[in-house]
Structure 1
Amino acid sequence: MSQQTTDGGPLYGKFDIPTMRRVWYGPGCLEHLPEEVERLGGQRVFIITSHTLATQTDLVDRVRSLLGNKVVGVDAASKQHVPRRAVVEAAAQAREAGADLLISLGGGSQIDCAKAVALCLAEGVKNPEQLDDYRVLFEYPDKVTVPSLKGQAPPHITVGTTLSAGDFTNFAGITDEERRVKDLYVDEQLMPKVSFLDAAITVHTPSWLWASTGMRAVDHCVEAFISQSHMPFTDALAFHALQLLFRYLPPSTRDPHDLAAKTQCQLAAWMSIFGLANVLLGLSHGIGHQLGARCNVPHGLTSCIMLPHVLEFNLPVTAERQALLAQAMGVDTRDMATEDAARAGIESLRRFIQGLGVPYRLRDVNVTREDFDGIVRDAMQDLVVATNPRPATPQDVYALLEKAY
């Protein structure tokens, strides 16, 4: 986390470096999967994927053909927002199969499910309630408790089909179905060891899912750049990633076979989240967590809906940073005042979202006003709401939901 004196003095801080060992990128790179499994010592590989990918594409069969009899099981029941009962069931299958290496095949939900399964295998978790011992606890305004894993988690290789970028973090979001809250789990062992960014396997990804997860990457860039704790390293990555996403996300959404544009988007998503744990995020992510857990809205769509409104809310304290972001969004700000440039950036973002053809209002994703009270209540218990650049009250969050409706 970076700090700077108010008089413009020298920077002071720390940066924790993620410990992923290798990233393969480019069409066809999945062919290197066997050598990575071998390098990690995997003999009994368990695949975690979605029902759609398992039944409507040949991706699972491709992985099987690459790894042969090392594949000892497949869980194709992972669900959006990672309900913890599904996690425990997948972990039971992996345990029974004697898995010593996990492969997640799919988007953020499959990646987080595999991380959660790794946790369960390391700690002997066999029922959903046991997961409570490992979730991050937050007490407003700044008390955070992060439990550590004591056992050894199996290595995890990601094969991503969206732009979620969950491949590059050591945390996972798991939904408690009873509380309707998405809990955070953090440990260095949850970091995948290898990631494959093979654009050729994303041709099956629905355009709305590709576009909306790309917008999630945009959200990472924006909230990292305007964060209270932004730092030069994450600034540079976020700014360049935003430029790439604004250039390549539209064409890769229109044409799923534009592998050059898709590869650029995959690299941008990686940049957007690299080191993200070192900065404090804000309301767009915090409200999005609740929209996902309570209303089952995909996180990419929560970013499409909430981010422009959150930028407007933060404008009084982040105008200078937002004006810089406008340049990354393609706005010519040379003759603009700072606030005008920032507002032009917000309008550019709105046009960008609408041009992707994705929902941009809460009413379009089946959220009702009756949901607002629960969303607000849970959002105020979310760490990243508490760290928003501009302090937010429950009334502020409610007003943002109204504007987004």
Structure 2
Amino acid sequence: MEKFSMNTNIFMGKNSLDRLLEWKNKSIMLISDPYISKSGMLNVITDRLKQGDNSIHLFDQIVPDPPIETIVEGMSLMRNCRPEMVIAVGGGSAIDAAKAIKYFAEKGLDFTDVPLIAIPTTSGTGSEVTSFSVITDAGKNVKYPLVDDEMLPSEAILDPSLVLTVPAAVTADTGMDVLTHAIEAYVSLNANDISDAMAEKAVRLVFSYLEEAHKNGQNLVAREKMHIASCMAGIAFNQTSLGLNHGIAHICGAKFHIPHGRINSILLPAVIEYNADLKGYNDRDYSMAAQKYAELAKILGLPASNPRTGVRSLISAITKLQNSLGMPVSLQACGVEAKTLSELKAEISKAALNDACTKTNPRQPTEEEVQQILEKIY
């Protein structure tokens, strides 16, 4: 028996921020980061909230890869201000931090059923519709994925006006994160027809609109389509979990201080090749993953007369997209030294195998195979 549930109400499209005008006389904890706070972007949020005579308690100390200490600090403010709802505004870090703050506050500080509204300002993590949160132990350089349905936001507001000024490099990183989410969800051991439909559409949107969003950030149509793609990929992987790509990326990104979407992008062609497990040309016993990768190639209009051709076409298309976005395609291009990789690859491989995402990968790797992938992407 399979289950598909969708517990987050989604408001999307032009002027979707007007949803904020519907709340009156609420005590609201607003969670964001210093950049968004100082840039004035929060004004479009607070101006609407103030029209309803809501009281706002701002916590804008979120940093990339939010550390445990920040979560504790946010819980302290939540305990003091006793909000009736929490609104997270920002990228994946802000939304993940808000999830963790609310979750642990409800577990340990006698809060119950405080709604969380997620307003993403990047198109990448899909965190606004997932029960995942990633927090960091800065001392150990380790990221901890948390998974609990209680962390699902009550609402997500996808207003494309909030992503028009996202820098090109961030657009590329987050866009490739969307693609990785969709592809990993598609070949996950837990995939089903409904998650496949979400993942397929997300992949098509990425290949249709990411390059334009990167080249012309003010293109509202491209921005809106990437925002929706991110959300759809999030819905897909929230049902299916992810795979080895993220299993490696969580630890690898933390150790080498590479942005999450960027390390996912670097890993993606190598992980697809590993999962497809293509053997000799006379072998026609194709893996499930190889067949599904080939199906994606067909959907994208790429050559896919057989699974082998389809897998190669998909990898080639991803590489072409990376090049068009000017993205690094190796650890070396990100400044990682060969000696550093050699010293850390055993530790990274062990951590990747223990990552929750790896459990739903279509092919179960060994430590040696993970190390081979790391060497391949160097």
TM-score, normalised by the number of residues in structure 2: 0.90
Supply the distance in 1 between the matched residues of 2:35 and 2:303 (Cα, whole angstroms).
43
| Corresponding position: 1:355 with 2:314 | no
Separation (CA, whole Å) in 2 of partners of 1:372 and 1:366? 16
Is the Cα contact below 8 Å between 1:173 and 1:184 reproduced in 2? yes
CA drift of 1:292 comes to 3.1
The answer to whether 1:394 aligns with 2:367 is yes
- Structure 2 counterpart of 1:14, which letter? E
Q: Is the 8 A contact 1:210 1:253 kept in 2?
A: yes
List gaps (5 residues or longer) in structure 1: 1-12, 126-149
Shift of 1:153: 4.3
Q: Which residue of 1 aligns with 2:296?
A: 325
Q: Which whole-Å CA distance do the structure 2 matches of 1:382 and 1:188 have between them?
A: 18
Distance 1:386 1:14, change over 3 A: closer
Q: CA-to-partner distance for each residue in 1:218-246, whole Å, 9 max, x for gaps?
A: 11111111222321111111112111110
Identity %: 29
State the 1:54 CA deviation. Answer: 1.3
Alpha-carbon separation, structure 1, partners of 2:300 and 2:35: 34
- CA drift at 1:166: 0.4
Do residues 31 (structure 1) and 14 (structure 2) align? no
For residues 151 and 293 of structure 1, what CA distance do their matches in structure 2 show?
32
1:19 to 2, 7, 10: 7
* Structure 2 residue aligned with 1:65: 47
Question: Which consecutive residues of structure 2, in runs of 5 or more, have no partner in the other structure?
Answer: 278-286
SS at match of 2:65: coil
Q: Secondary structure at the match of 1:380?
A: helix
Shift in Å, 1:358: 2.2
Determine if the alignment matches structure 1 residue 365 to structure 2 residue 365: no
The code of the aligned residue for 2:135 comes to: I
Distance 1:359 1:76 in 2: 31
Whether 1:86 aligns to 2:70 is yes
Residue by residue over 1:115-163, the C-alpha shift from the partner in whole angstroms, topping out at 9 and shown as x without a partner, is: 01101221226xxxxxxxxxxxxxxxxxxxxxxxx95242111111112
Deviation per residue, 1:85-125 (Å, 9 max, x gap): 11111221232222221111111110000001101221226
1:303 aligns to 2:264 (yes or no):
yes
**Distance in 2 separating the partners of 1:199 and 1:358:** 24
**Residues in 1 aligned to 2:31 and 2:88: alpha-carbon distance in whole angstroms:** 5
Alpha-carbon distance in 2 for matches of 1:151, 1:67: 23
Are 1:75 and 2:59 counterparts? yes
Shift of 1:387: 3.0
Residue 73 to residue 354, structure 1, CA distance change in 2 (3 Å): same
Q: How many residues align?
A: 361
Distance in 2 (alpha carbons) for counterparts of 1:315 and 1:24: 37
1:278 is displaced (CA, Å) by: 2.9
1:217 aligned onto 2:186: no
State the secondary structure of the residue aligned to 1:200. Answer: helix
1:201 counterpart residue number: 162
* Conserved? CA contact 2:196–2:236, under 8 Å: no
Question: Partner of 2:280 in structure 1?
Answer: none
1:197-276 equivalence runs, <5 A? 197-276=158-237
Secondary structure of 2:196's partner?
helix
CA distance, structure 2, for counterparts of residue 237 and residue 87 of structure 1:
32
Counterpart of 1:321 in 2: which secondary structure?
helix
Task: Find the aligned partners of 1:26 and 1:380 in 2 and give their Cα distance.
Answer: 39
Q: Which amino acid aligns with 1:190?
A: M
**Could you tell me whether the CA contact under 8 Å between 1:18 and 1:275 is conserved in 2?**
no
Query: 1:128 aligns to what?
Result: none
Deviates more, 1:177-186 or 1:219-228: 177-186
What is the rounded CA distance, in whole Å, between the counterparts of 2:309 and 2:195 in structure 1? 25
Q: CA RMSD in A?
A: 1.9
CA drift at 1:63: 1.5
AA aligned to 2:59 is D
Q: Secondary structure at the match of 2:245?
A: helix
The aligned counterpart of 2:282 is none
Match of 2:96 in 1: 112
Aligned equivalents of 2:359 and 2:10: distance in 1? 33
CA distance in 1, matches of 2:297, 2:108: 48
Q: Secondary structure in 2 aligned to 1:360?
A: coil
Aligned to 2:133, the other structure's residue is in SS state: strand
Q: Residues 170 and 387 from structure 1, CA distance in 2 versus in 1: closer, same or farther, beyond 3 angstroms?
A: closer
Larger deviation: 111-120 or 93-102?
Answer: 93-102
* Structure 2 counterpart of 1:377: 350
> Is residue 2:247 matched to residue 1:286?
yes
Q: Is the 8 A contact 1:286 1:379 kept in 2?
A: yes
The answer as to whether partners of 1:248 and 1:265 remain within 8 angstroms in 2 is yes
1:157 to 117, 131, 143: 117
